Amino acid sequence: MPEALPELLVIAGPTASGKSALAMQLAQKLATDIISGDSMQFYRTLNIGVAKPTLLEQQQVKHHLIDILDIQERVDVFRFLSLAEAEIAQVSREKKLPMVVGGTGMYLKALLYGLDDLPGDAVLRAELDEKYDNDEHFDDLKKLMQTVDPQALAKWHQHRRKLIRALEVITLCGKSITLLQQGARPLRWKAKVLIILPEREELKSRIALRTKEMLADSWIPEVEAVLAAGLLNTPTAHQALGYDLIGEYLAGKLSLKQLEELIITKTWQFARRQITWFKNQHPEAEFLSYPIDVDAVYKQIDDWRKLC
């Protein structure tokens, strides 16, 4: 581990688990900032639906990596790493404990362990993106992957970007990315990783309540504005959960009750995938369940820092 790398605190968990609220309390106790690890909070104009911190919260605690991109800009794990490492270095220079908070599991894992040392070719990747990074040709991509790399298809059958990356790798070296990714890698940081994993029924209730609150707030007018700005045709921002469903409601295809139920269902399905990821991809993590004793967590962090 390079000596220049600082300590790093990570607060993660599935959507609606309460990680942002915990992070706010810890940031105030630790007198530090929050660095967002949520890929959708990077975008300006995506606010309520991505649970972006409010203006009051931003006044109470400084937040990094929110409102930094236009919705038409692409973001991927490479860009995230570059941005996040720069912010971590800045916070560390200010003699504060860098704290990354988010639920984008792949980004957090890449930050903690680094990117896989896998072959890549910018020209080939651009060609594959142009051909397959769209809804129209997603089925064509899956049919091709069934032939050339069925292992990758079985693992990421609903993740277009991951399948494109897998196709790039097997095209370049003839080996499945699933085989090349095997084997543990060391942590890149002196890291303490806390992941909130509520009981399933409790998380379902939290998701339902938050959905109702967001819809009662100004989420629908927000979606109307960003759809008019071309959200559904963006390279990355279109993935924001619930925005396409609200678009169907605005088009008269769904009632408000149907919209609420669909968003709750889709959010729970997403949260389940996040839970599976965090359980299987983060052996370094310590898991928290409710009720969370913030003072006890703070003491745990303080004890860890004394040992570093």
Based on the fold, state whether residues 111 and 208 are members of the same structural domain: yes
Question: Per residue in 81-129, pLDDT tens?
Answer: 999 999 999 999 999 999 999 989 989 999 999 887 778 888 898 899 9
Evaluate if residue 45 carries a pLDDT over 80. yes
Based on the fold, state whether residues 157 and 61 are members of the same structural domain: no
Q: What is the radius of gyration, based on Cα positions, of the chain? A: 20
Evaluate if residue 2 carries a pLDDT over 60. no
Mean pLDDT of the chain: 93
Quote the strand ranges of the chain, DSSP E.
7-12, 34-36, 63-64, 99-102, 190-196, 286-288
Contacts of 136 (CB under 8 A, 6+ apart): none
Q: What percent of the chain has pLDDT over 90?
A: 82
What are 99's strand-pairing partners? 9
Based on the fold, state whether residues 76 and 174 are members of the same structural domain: no
Based on the fold, state whether residues 140 and 275 are members of the same structural domain: no
Contact between 236 and 39 under an 8 Å Cβ cutoff? The reply is yes
CATH number at residue 146: 1.10.20.140
Based on the fold, state whether residues 211 and 245 are members of the same structural domain: yes
Strands 190-196, 99-102: parallel, antiparallel or unpaired by DSSP?
unpaired
Question: Per residue in 195-227, pLDDT tens?
Answer: 999 999 999 999 999 999 999 999 999 999 999
What domain count does the chain have?
2
User: Which residues constitute the domain of residue 153?
Assistant: 122-180
Q: Does residue 1 lie within any of the structural domains?
A: no
Q: Does residue 186 lie within any of the structural domains?
A: no
Based on the fold, state whether residues 222 and 138 are members of the same structural domain: no
Higher per-residue confidence, 116 vs 21: 21
Q: Does residue 92 lie within any of the structural domains?
A: yes
Question: Per residue in 250-266, pLDDT tens?
Answer: 999 999 999 999 999 99
Q: Does residue 161 lie within any of the structural domains?
A: yes
Based on the fold, state whether residues 76 and 13 are members of the same structural domain: yes
Domain end residue (candidates: 180, 208, 227) = 180
CATH number at residue 104: 3.40.50.300
